[in-house]
Each structure stands twice: as structure tokens, then as C-alpha cells.
Amino acid sequence: MAPTAEDGEPSVRQAAPTVTTQPGRSPLAGAVAPGGRMPRWLPRAMVLALALIAAFQLGSWAFHQLTGLLINILIAFFLALAVEPAVSRMAARGMRRGLATFLVFFGLTVVIAGFVTLLGSMLAGQIIKMVEGFPEYLDSLINWTNQTFHTELKRVDIQEGLLHSDWLRKYVQNSAAGVLDVSTQVLGGLFQLLTVGLFSFYFAADGPRLRRGLCSVLPPARQAEVLRAWEIAVDKTGGYLYSRGLMALISGVAHYILLEIMGVPYAPVLGVWVGLVSQFIPTIGTYLAGALPMLIAFTVDPWYAVWVLGFVVVYQQFENYMLQPKLTAKTVDIHPAVAFGSVIAGTALLGAVGALIAIPAVATLQAFLGAYVKRYAVTDDPRVHGHRSRTPSGPGALTRARRLWPGRRPGGRAGA
């Protein structure tokens, strides 16, 4: 039976409140379409996400493939900045900029080719001399070994054992197999050199056009900043190369005088070698440059090699603490610790190329940021000058130590 109220009429159950919705709108609009279908925006979002992932992967692959080209362009840009003052000076006198750039690069090519030719002839002559004198060196070594260790070694036995050894056979096989690899590396190096030369020539010859094209896509306020940064980069790069060239000249003359006094052959070429390599190869350039003069001096007298090593070490200290700070203060103006850190960072990022361009790049960035950093007057505090301030109030360290000493009395007598 249906439940009834007290007056006998059937009771009406109150219905639960219902949510009124607009016709054609689902309560879960935006999440699930009517009828459980996929929302319209979801396929487009999925396609957009996949497209972004594909674009990122493609860009990453292209960047890794073009890393070598980008490094060559970076080298060419800094080389163009280095020759920019000479090219601009010649162009200001009425010469066409393209012809001025060609003359500058032609002069650099002649100087480098002449130096490499002289160095190659020197090395070839010394190698021939060492090969011809190798039997005498071997005899002297065998005699010293027999007298010192009481052995009975003979040069013929050593030569026969060396010629029939497995080590020599494997070395010859590996050398023959690596000839193709060496040829490939040489061709690749020549292609990279040609690429750097072409890009640097275009950057130097079309420098004004490049600056106009870059400024044309920037507002006037940004154009002034870009031109200022470009001018700072030219000054710092040119100043860096100027200071390095001057230190290379001083180093080359100093080592040439030493080698000439000792009678070491090819002293002028060795002096030029030490000057260039020690200055334009950071960190290890000095020791790499000193290895060749030591080797040549060893062929004259073994003690001469020791003298050359000592002179290289002493001159390096003189250059680091006396010569380099004075020459680079007005050109590069960068702290030695910052320069050393920048060389390490550049080497970690780009290898030898990064080590070479790290200092002018950091000097340019430092000079550009220094023009926009607001500086204040430094307070006149002793701690600024490295002096610790002493407060007169309070007991000294000795008094505090006496107070902490067990059994001591104020009168200075030990307790009983």
C-alpha cells in the first residue's frame, strides 16, 4: 500500500533539486564532448606538441651537424675584427675596401707561408742530421751502459733485435693503415682554412654593409648599442693582438740572443717560433714553444738544452709578472685571474679555438657591460684597503686566555 498522510491523501515525495543547464551544453564541457566523443581541441594540441618536439629534434640535429661551420664562422668574425683597423685606415685614404682587405690578407698569407717554409726546411735539416748521427749517439749510449752496468751490449745485436721485433712490425702496419686518415685530416684542415679565410674576407670587406643590415632590423635605441658593442669588440680584439704581437717580438728577440750566444743553428727561425707559439697558444704555448729549441740545442750540447729550459722558465716568470701586466693594461684591461678562467672556459667549450678567442671576447663583454653598470663612491673604511678595524673596548686575546686558565687568580698567582 502507498503511504498516506493523516488526512488520508497520498503523500507526494519531494523530488531532489535538479541542476538547470543550458540546452546544448554538457556539464563537463571542455573535458568530454557530448556522447563521450573526443574534444575538438585535443587533436590540434597533440599535433602541435608533436610538431614542437619534431622541430626541437630537427634543430638539435642541425646544430650538431653545423657545429664545425659555426666555429669557423666565429673564428672568421674575430679575424675580421682584428684586421678591421688596418682595412678601415686604408679605405679612409681612398682605397676601395675590397682591395684593402685583399692586400691585408695577402700580406698575412705571405708572412705565414714564409715562416712555415723556413721552419719546415729547418726541421728537415735537423731531422736529416739526427738520422745521420744516430749511430754515433747509439754507440755512446751503449758504451755508457756497458761501463755503468757491466754489460756486453753490441750495436749490431740491438739493431737486429729491433728490426725483427713484433713492435716494429705492428707499428709499420698501423702507420701504413693510417696514411689515408692523415691525408683526410690534412684535406679537412685545408678546407677549414679556406672556409675561415673566405668568411673573414667577406666580414672585413663588407663590414659597413653588415652593420647596416643588422641595424636595419633594430629600433634606433638598439642600433646605437649594437654599434657601440661592435666598436668595443674591434678595439679589444685589435688591442689584444697588438699586445700579443709586441710580446712575441720581445720574446723572440730574447730567445734569439740566447741561442745565438750558444751557437745553436737556425737561431732566427727558432726565435720567431718561440715568440709566436708562446704568445698565440695560451696556457701551454710557452712550454710547447721551448721544446723545439731544447731539442736543437741538445744536438749541439746536452747542457745547452738545460740552459734553454732554465731561460724559458725564468723568462716566463718575467713575462707574467713584469711585462704582460704593463702591455695589456691599456689594450685588454682584464684581470689575470679572469683571463686564466676565461681561457679554461673557452678551452672546455671550443677547444684550442676557444682558448685563443676567450680573452678578447671576455674583454669585449667586460668593457660593454662596464658602460651600463652604475658605480658608487666607495666608503672610506680601513677594511676596504685590507686593514682590519680594531675596537678599543673589550679585553684582548691574552687577557681572555688568562681568564680561562684553570687555577689562576686575579693577582696572577696560582691557586693553592
Phi/psi for 408 (5° steps) reads: -90, 145
Contact 15, 23 (CB under 8 A): no
Phi/psi for 10 (5° steps) reads: -65, 135
- Cα dist from 163 to 137, 141, 159, 166, whole Å: 18, 19, 6, 9
Distance from C-alpha of 311 to C-alpha of 10, rounded to nearest angstrom = 121
Q: Which residues pair with 414 in a beta bridge?
A: 408
Burial class (CB in 10 A: 0-12, 13-18, 19+), 215: middle
Burial class (CB in 10 A: 0-12, 13-18, 19+), 342: buried
Contact 90, 100 (CB under 8 A): yes
pTM of the entire structure?
0.63
For 69-223, where are the E strands, in sequence order? none
Cβ neighbours of residue 346 closer than 8 Å, sequence gap 6 or more? 353, 354, 355, 356, 357, 358, 361
pLDDT in tens, the chain (416 residues): 444 444 444 444 444 444 444 444 444 444 455 556 778 888 889 999 999 999 999 999 998 998 888 888 888 888 888 888 888 889 888 889 989 999 999 998 998 888 788 777 777 776 777 677 777 777 787 888 888 888 888 777 777 777 677 776 776 666 656 666 767 777 877 888 888 889 999 998 888 888 888 888 888 888 888 888 888 888 878 777 888 888 888 888 999 999 899 888 888 888 888 888 888 776 677 778 888 888 888 878 888 889 999 998 898 888 877 777 777 666 666 776 777 777 788 878 877 777 777 777 787 777 767 666 666 777 777 776 666 655 555 555 556 666 666 555 555 454 44
A 10 A CB-CB count for 147 gives 9
Torsion of CA 249, 250, 256, 259, to 10 degrees: -140
